[in-house]
Structure 1
Amino acid sequence: MSQTTTNDTAGAVPPVAAVDCSGISKGFDGVPVLKDVSVTFAEGSVNVLAGENGAGKSTLFKIISGQLAPDGGRLTLFGDPVKRFDARHAQALGVSIIPQELAPIPEMRVWQNLLVGQELTGPLGFLRQKKMIEIAREMLGGVGLDIDPGAPMKTLGVAATQMVEILKATSRKARIVLMDEPSSALSSRETEQLFRVIRMLRQQGACILYTSHRMEEIEQISDTVAIMRDGAIIRHERTKALTENQIITDMVGRQIEDLFPNRGVPPADRDVVLAVKDLRVSGYNSAVSISLRGGEILGLGGLVGAGRSELLEAIFGLRPATGSVTLDGKPLHLGRMTESIERGLAMVPEDRKLAGVLTSLSILDNITLPHLDAFTGPGGLMNNAKRRTSALDVLKRTRVAYAKLSQKVGHLSGGNQQKVALARWLVTGMPRVLILDEPTRGIDVGARSELYKLINDLADSGVAILLASSDMPELINLSHRVLVMRDGAIQGELKRGEIEQEAVLRLAMGRGSNAIH
């Protein structure tokens, strides 16, 4: 196992490691998350931390960035042992972290957000606003971002917000930069801009630690790969010495022969379960009409900002819209989410931590709170035995890895949080329609395989599934049909046998030949 490269010249002094973890351990709720982690990373290098959700990557990041103190072991940064674990102290030592869940200041302008804490003032103490806007414009232009520095942060899309946050974090003379799934919301063009920033930081001597579940990124950007499994580093080698299959096998501890299950063909005579007619979503001018049969997986493709999430939210009742939505032949009142749930619509949103699960509550509460009426007996008394039995059953069916029902969902891995977000809709039976918005974003390959099988099994059971995904292999291999969106409109439809990456991208860019008018 190779840790870091050293100079082979006789008598040369090897470089001091930027990050040196020695025997680090950490646990939550009595469950060990990190177990005797010992690994070093060199300055001027890009190191991918690979592993399944729950392997301990984010916890290790939080310890290095001072957000958590380890239960045991020692952390050394550039040769100096860390004695105080505090986020501000870590930042002062040159550590910068870009978390998966962003925290911009929405009411601020882009230039204010970029330079917060680094404000320039004149002799009388007034802000040098013009100079700061000029600096912000240079920062954005330096990595090819066409963003107005005077725009409010709240007007930016997810991808643009991600890049601004990355620039903000890396502008503070950081010597150690931690990036947790930084490309999860970025297009291929925006990912290349991100890589430009990473290469610039490496040339400046920074040590970059980067988590990613995208195999092509690991090969393209990293110098070394450290693979974590069950809270331990099981391999750390130069990227060129590893194959994609080795990385995946080490991550999950088993071979994954077929990531995608065999896609069954729903009978052509199945009834239409969901019919959307002339639906105009607030903020878009186009009217959308779609139909979905029982057992069918209908994919929604398109670029970032195409309007897929907004359409799904409008169908579910979360977003204002006009037009009609019909479920099993009977109309749904638009904007009434409670009615949608009662009638058999279920939705797992794009941002599981904002709208999918309540991370501060237990697994039991997350799964059963939406269905408390089903567990309430005469006199309003809660049947806790029935509640626990139902929760245990659905957790087993969805293969959630957890320690106990009282465990907080926030202490689960991202993949298991996503399974809980899905399991809560299955605890009292099957939904008629399941809406999935980016269901595997930020989820490792092992958890993806299990979720894909679960989605396929639900479709085989007759559940109608509406799936929006930016992951092209996922969209192509799971869907029976794909509708491609652009600017809030359905640009075209691809049927079985036509669903290919080039066809999806052509429609998404407005260049397709089978657009729906």
Structure 2
Amino acid sequence: MDTILKLDNITKSFPGVKALQGIHLEIARGEIHALLGENGAGKSTLMKILCGIYQPDEGTITIAGEVRHFTNYHDAVAAGVGIVFQEFSLIPYLNAVENMFLGRELKNGLGLLERGKMRRVAAAIFQRLGVAIDLSVPIRELSVAQQQFVEIGKALSLEARILILDEPTATLTPAEAEHLFAIMRELKTQGVAMIFISHHLEEIFEVCDRITVLRDGQYVGMTEVAQSDVSRLVEMMVGRRIENSFPPKPPLRTDAKIVLDVKKLQLLKDSPVLSFNLREGEILGFAGLVGSGRTETALAVIGADPAYLKEIRINGTTEKLSDPADALRAGVGILPESRKTEGLITDFSIKQNISINNLGKYRSLRFFIDQRSEARATADIMKRVGVKAPTMHTEVATLSGGNQQKVVIARWLNHHTNILIFDEPTRGIDVGAKAEIYLLMRELTARGYSIIMISSELPEIVGMCDRVAVFRQGRIEAMLEGGEIDSNAVMTYATAGTRGAAHEHA
């Protein structure tokens, strides 16, 4: 094997936590190597060590037979290591060329920028990737997929021979993901070694050669993709078998109280008029392709986005819901798709994030907070939702994705909401934590909470929802319930609409 990268006995500790212990990773030139593990398993820490962001306490990094010591990110780049972060590191007001050469602009002998040369280099890289990128417009005007390809082009412009792809398909449509996989296969033929991090196991089997699994900061093992299967990988990641990650559904209650009744909702003057309701104790799914109007509908309901026409009743009372504050007062909370940027203040502690929407109830004097009362309430609700952390004072940024999501849920429970909107609730969360989130959602509905779940994952929609509103081109094409909910029906309505679905099921 022509080994390009070897990590041996990598160990790293932070105050009170041993993040990595004796990790081994070996990758061949031109190999796509999956790195798997639950959130908190140590994947991100290991990649930050490979990129020079962290330095290991013990162990060696060997690239092309030479032992390397990285003191910073630039050392890693100089050695041929590039990374495409899960959270984009692009400047939205600069164009693709400016982003690619930021901090290392090409200049002539007089110190003037060689804009033409940089543009030609960028164009050649995107031609190599087989993607069309408008090099003259700001990054913010490009699609998410195009921004993803700019990130990859930026890494390749650094002449990376080892490319780290951290959840690169998280925001891509299936077609865009397939294009990315085609690019990865082409880079493989060019000798680029890739480390691929993904929570979607089907992607691993589609594009990767070998897999290394981490668990609790330790090396579990390496396996060939051709010699493995999903159940074996899950058992390696979580240390146990997960036979069924979805809890059983309760019997469908068509007579349950309607807690949210959207009589009329029209986002724009010429857009379709929507109507739907949510029953007490149920999970109503919003399914459909990206751009079908699922999230836009939910945001319009709570007043985060404007609506041309809106008539809504909550528990039988007509509510205006002009903004999210109105929705919160009416008992409606939302767990946004981007929990790190919209759902949490990551520099704050768990306690601060849970209490921030409801500090008034802990007020002891006019300007003071009863810290003991706040701490007792925080400890109680952390236990109820199963947040795993050293203390309530732990910074949210240090938590795994699953625990961050539980903190967002805890905040709304602390505010006595009874209607929760979950937008992509398990995006970026590992299989073990997903099962915990699913169980928590079912526990909430058993206690009388009502949930709208927006999800792009069909198994999640089918496995969790009591009813499903299928969106297509801004309208609700079908409302499925009970035994009607299956992958074929959802996809038929989402892609072909009512006419195509009628033909399909005729």
Relative to the length of structure 1, the TM-score reads 0.89
Partner of 1:90: 76
Instruction: Give the Cα–Cα distance (whole angstroms) in 1 for the partners of residues 74 and 302 of structure 2.
Output: 42
Equivalent position to 1:321, from 288, 303, 307: 307
Partner of 2:246: 260
Against the structure 1 CA distance between its residues 475 and 167, is the aligned structure 2 distance closer, same or farther, given a 3 Å change threshold?
farther
Q: Deviations over 1:420-450 (max 9, x none)?
A: 1112112354x22100100000110000001
Q: Deviations over 1:152-190 (max 9, x none)?
A: 321333333223322332343211111111111122211
Q: Deviations over 1:375-408 (max 9, x none)?
A: 2224444222222222222222222221111111
Instruction: Give the Cα–Cα distance (whole angstroms) in 1 for the partners of residues 371 and 291 of structure 2.
Output: 43
Are 1:352 and 2:339 an aligned pair?
A: yes
Cα offset for 1:134?
Answer: 6.3
Partner of 2:47: 61
Superposition map of 1:96-495 within 5 A: 96-114=82-100, 116=102, 136=122, 139-140=125-126, 142-281=128-267, 285-324=271-310, 325-429=312-416, 431-495=417-481
Instruction: Give the Cα–Cα distance (whole angstroms) in 2 for the partners of residues 227 and 163 of structure 1.
Output: 27
Cα offset for 1:119?
Answer: 5.7
Q: Which amino acid aligns with 1:377?
A: S
Instruction: Give the Cα–Cα distance (whole angstroms) in 2 for the partners of residues 168 and 435 of structure 1.
Output: 36
Greater shift in the superposed pair: 219-228 or 115-124: 115-124
Greater shift in the superposed pair: 298-307 or 402-411: 298-307
Q: Which amino acid aligns with 1:246?
A: R
Partner of 1:11: none
Instruction: Give the Cα–Cα distance (whole angstroms) in 2 for the partners of residues 171 and 509 of structure 1.
Output: 38
Partner of 1:9: none
Instruction: Give the Cα–Cα distance (whole angstroms) in 1 for the partners of residues 269 and 156 of structure 2.
Output: 34
Instruction: Give the Cα–Cα distance (whole angstroms) in 1 for the partners of residues 91 and 270 of structure 2.
Output: 26
Partner of 2:14: 28
Instruction: Give the Cα–Cα distance (whole angstroms) in 2 for the partners of residues 222 and 202 of structure 1.
Output: 10
Against the structure 1 CA distance between its residues 278 and 98, is the aligned structure 2 distance closer, same or farther, given a 3 Å change threshold?
same
3-state SS of 2:482 partner: coil
Q: Which amino acid aligns with 2:86?
A: Q
- Do the aligned partners of 2:462 and 2:486 also contact (CA within 8 Å) in 1? yes
Instruction: Give the Cα–Cα distance (whole angstroms) in 2 for the partners of residues 165 and 28 of structure 1.
Output: 30
Instruction: Give the Cα–Cα distance (whole angstroms) in 2 for the partners of residues 493 and 171 of structure 1.
Output: 48
Q: Deviations over 1:452-472 (max 9, x none)?
A: 111112122221111110111
3-state SS of 2:19 partner: strand
Cα offset for 1:330?
Answer: 2.3
Q: Structure 1 stretches (4+) deviating beyond 4 angstroms?
A: 114-144
Q: Deviations over 1:128-170 (max 9, x none)?
A: 7677666655644554545544443213333332233223323
Relative to the length of structure 2, the TM-score reads 0.91
Cα offset for 1:61?
Answer: 0.7
3-state SS of 2:220 partner: strand
- Do the aligned partners of 2:39 and 2:429 also contact (CA within 8 Å) in 1? yes
Instruction: Give the Cα–Cα distance (whole angstroms) in 1 for the partners of residues 137 and 269 of structure 2.
Output: 19
Instruction: Give the Cα–Cα distance (whole angstroms) in 1 for the partners of residues 261 and 124 of structure 2.
Output: 49
**Structure 1 residue ranges without an equivalent (≥5):** 1-5, 7-14
Instruction: Give the Cα–Cα distance (whole angstroms) in 1 for the partners of residues 259 and 127 of structure 2.
Output: 49
- Do the aligned partners of 1:492 and 1:515 also contact (CA within 8 Å) in 2? no
- Do the aligned partners of 1:357 and 1:421 also contact (CA within 8 Å) in 2? yes
3-state SS of 2:355 partner: helix
Instruction: Give the Cα–Cα distance (whole angstroms) in 2 for the partners of residues 130 and 502 of structure 1.
Output: 51
Instruction: Give the Cα–Cα distance (whole angstroms) in 2 for the partners of residues 510 and 152 of structure 1.
Output: 34
Q: Which amino acid aligns with 1:404?
A: T
3-state SS of 1:377 partner: strand
**Structure 2 residue ranges without an equivalent (≥5):** none
Q: Which amino acid aligns with 1:329?
A: G
Instruction: Give the Cα–Cα distance (whole angstroms) in 2 for the partners of residues 124 and 102 of structure 1.
Output: 33
Against the structure 1 CA distance between its residues 398 and 514, is the aligned structure 2 distance closer, same or farther, given a 3 Å change threshold?
farther
Q: Which amino acid aligns with 1:49?
A: L
3-state SS of 1:101 partner: coil
Equivalent position to 1:48, from 34, 56, 66: 34
Cα offset for 1:120?
Answer: 6.3
- Do the aligned partners of 1:115 and 1:136 also contact (CA within 8 Å) in 2? no
Percent identity over the alignment?
37
Q: Deviations over 1:350-397 (max 9, x none)?
A: 001101111111111111122111222244442222222222222222
3-state SS of 1:426 partner: helix
Cα offset for 1:69?
Answer: 1.8
- Do the aligned partners of 1:491 and 1:510 also contact (CA within 8 Å) in 2? no
- Do the aligned partners of 2:357 and 2:415 also contact (CA within 8 Å) in 1? no
Q: Deviations over 1:49-93 (max 9, x none)?
A: 111000000111111111122233322222333323211221111
- Do the aligned partners of 1:95 and 1:175 also contact (CA within 8 Å) in 2? yes
CA RMSD of aligned residues (A): 2.6
Instruction: Give the Cα–Cα distance (whole angstroms) in 1 for the partners of residues 408 and 302 of structure 2.
Output: 16
Q: Deviations over 1:242-293 (max 9, x none)?
A: 2221110110111111111111134222222112243233698333322111
Are 1:72 and 2:58 an aligned pair?
A: yes
Instruction: Give the Cα–Cα distance (whole angstroms) in 1 for the partners of residues 149 and 479 of structure 2.
Output: 32
Partner of 1:497: 483
- Do the aligned partners of 1:277 and 1:323 also contact (CA within 8 Å) in 2? no
Greater shift in the superposed pair: 128-137 or 298-307: 128-137
- Do the aligned partners of 2:40 and 2:399 also contact (CA within 8 Å) in 1? yes
- Do the aligned partners of 1:29 and 1:407 also contact (CA within 8 Å) in 2? no
Q: Deviations over 1:450-493 (max 9, x none)?
A: 10111112122221111110111001111122222233332333
Instruction: Give the Cα–Cα distance (whole angstroms) in 1 for the partners of residues 501 and 477 of structure 2.
Output: 5
3-state SS of 1:347 partner: strand
3-state SS of 2:412 partner: coil
- Do the aligned partners of 1:492 and 1:514 also contact (CA within 8 Å) in 2? no
- Do the aligned partners of 2:252 and 2:482 also contact (CA within 8 Å) in 1? no
